[in-house]
Structure 1
Amino acid sequence: MTDLSRIRAVLFDLFHTLVSLQVSQAPGPSTAELLGTDNETWWRVWTHDSDRYTLGLARLEEILPAKARIANPAVTAGQIQEALISRPARFRHALINVEPETLAGLGRLRAAGLKIGLITNCGADEVSAWPESPLAPLFHATVFSCREGLRKPDPRIYRLAADRLGLEPAACLFTGDGASDEFTGARQAGMTPVLITRHLEVMAPERIASAEPLAAFRVSTVSALADLLCPAPSPP
């Protein structure tokens, strides 16, 4: 069993951990639909060789058209332009419309004196609305891959986040959905990885079984994690 008494901070992944297009029910057609392909094909093409985008070396306007033509060779310029407009708006919706349970759980962790950090692989357009998000004021430190030139699972990005919190990695939990081999990177950096399943249960429940063995333990929600780290005092 993981010793939680030494934990002084919780670092979170962002997408599919705290927010997602699916759970927030972002309005309008998906990018795949706009580009005339299916979600599985688009996800495979979009996530393949995405380092330049998530490291901040290429903008959405460069990456999306090229990947759109791979996913659907018959895609039109009009479809691509519509996707370029729609995608940032849908991500903004997800960042603004955060589940109340998530915000309450983060608030409980902060109230208990824990530091809260963020480590996310992302393109600049995906997090352009971060300052507007109700999540933003709840975090003591944020690390966006596109701004730092580092991405998970590179152990350096985890250590950077710990440094910004003024803590050693061993005092930190890293909580995520397990994508991008992020749990391996967290362990290599000295953190304890935790699987959170709220968004996976909605968007990709089949991924839970493969992610769980890589984590120290599993929780369903941020509030469930808060229950473990800051339980209510026992009645007298």
Structure 2
Amino acid sequence: MKYKAVIFDLGGTLVRNVGWGAYEEAALRIAEQLSAPVDEFTRQWFEESSRLGTGDFTNYSEYIRYTCSEIGYQTPEDKLHDASDIMVDVSRRLVAGVRNDAIELLSWLKSRNYRTGLISDCFSDIPALWDSTPFASLIDVAVFSCFEKRVKSDIRIFHTALNKLAVSPDKCMYIADGMRNELTNAASLGMQAVQIYLPKEIDHSPIREDWKGTVISSLSEIKNLLEGV
């Protein structure tokens, strides 16, 4: 058996992509909830939103306050809870969108004694929801960017997952939809990087990479990639 482990991305991979538009809509709704100037608020929100994934903020309320302060707007404290829930709702929808073949594939991998891992660029609400998902019992090692203080544009997060799985890069396959050069970074380490590509889920995300390597259109195809080596 050439490969000993498979590491997955979460959003757009094990679960369906909610789309960049969902995050744009959420930022817009938060601005409206706060009665903040919409254009200024949303521009500032996305200017530094990657810091949510690196754990620079402990909760959405803190980031909302920061965004308001950066545009010189007084945060209405009585509206913070409802505003924060708008983002939490996006995360709930994300983890609920389990792909039809995801659980079957993970169960198959476990039955074949493959080690399984996850690397997710996310805010702390995702790990808070993790144990309630059907993935928790099927993933051996889950690495969340908000805890590691780095996202997948930083190659060190891949080293973290590999070390926790106790597997070398050449014995590991990485499956993702392709954000922040995650596929390119995984491949540069010697991992077999595979993009899951579904045209109907492709959006205008500014962090999507232009991947030229191996591509699949369903998770079930991973079996053939593993068994065919």
TM-score, normalised relative to structure 1: 0.75
Give the 3-state SS of the residue equivalent to 1:56 in structure 2.
coil
Q: Which amino acid aligns with 1:218?
A: V
1:127 matched to 2:127? The reply is yes
Give the whole-Å Cα distance in 1 for the aligned partners of 2:189 and 2:49: 23
Aligned sequence identity (%): 26
Q: Quick one: distance in 2 between partners of 1:18 and 1:68?
A: 34
Aligned equivalent of 2:223, options 214, 223, 226: 226
Letter of the 2:105 partner, please give it.
G
Taking structure 2 as the reference length, what is the TM-score of the superposition?
A: 0.77
The equivalences for 1:1-236 within 5 A come to 6-20=2-16, 22=18, 30-36=26-32, 42=42, 46-59=45-58, 60-67=60-67, 81-198=81-198, 201-204=200-203, 211-213=210-212, 216-230=213-227
CA contact (8 A) 2:179 2:209 kept: no
- The one-character-per-residue Cα deviations of 1:112-165 (angstroms, maximum 9, x if unpaired) are 222110011111123310010011111011111111223212222111111111
Corresponding residue for 2:35? none
Unaligned runs of 5+ in 2: 33-37
Over the residues paired in the alignment, what is the CA RMSD in angstroms?
3.4
Q: CA deviation at 1:74?
A: 11
Q: Structure 2 vs 1, CA of residues 88 and 20 (structure 1 numbering), >3 Å: closer, same or farther?
A: farther
1:234 counterpart residue number: none
Structure with a larger share of its residues in helix: 1
Q: Secondary structure at the match of 1:35?
A: helix
Secondary structure in structure 2 of the residue aligned to 1:163:
helix
Alpha-carbon distance between aligned partners in 2 of 1:221 and 1:75, rounded to the nearest angstrom: 44
Q: Secondary structure in 2 aligned to 1:184?
A: helix
Distance, in Å, in 2 between the alignment partners of 1:139 and 1:185 is 22
* Matching residue's letter, 1:55: T
Q: Which amino acid aligns with 2:53?
A: T
Count of matched residue pairs? 217
TM-aligned CA distance change 1:69 to 1:149, over 3 Å? closer
The one-character-per-residue Cα deviations of 1:67-117 (angstroms, maximum 9, x if unpaired) are: 47889x899767654230132133124324423322112222222222110
Work out the CA distance in 2 between the residues paired with 1:84 and 1:30: 10
In 2, Cα distance between the equivalents of 1:21 and 1:187? 23
Q: Structure 2: how far apart are the matches of 1:227 and 1:67?
A: 47
Q: 1:87 corresponds to which letter in structure 2?
A: M
Instruction: Tell me, yes or no, if the aligned pair for 2:27 and 2:45 is still in contact at 8 Å.
Output: no
Maintained 8 Å contact 1:106/1:223: no
Paired amino acid for 1:90: V
State the 1:219 CA deviation. 0.7
1:54 CA drift (Å) = 1.6
Q: Which consecutive residues of structure 1, in runs of 5 or more, have no partner in the other structure?
A: 232-236
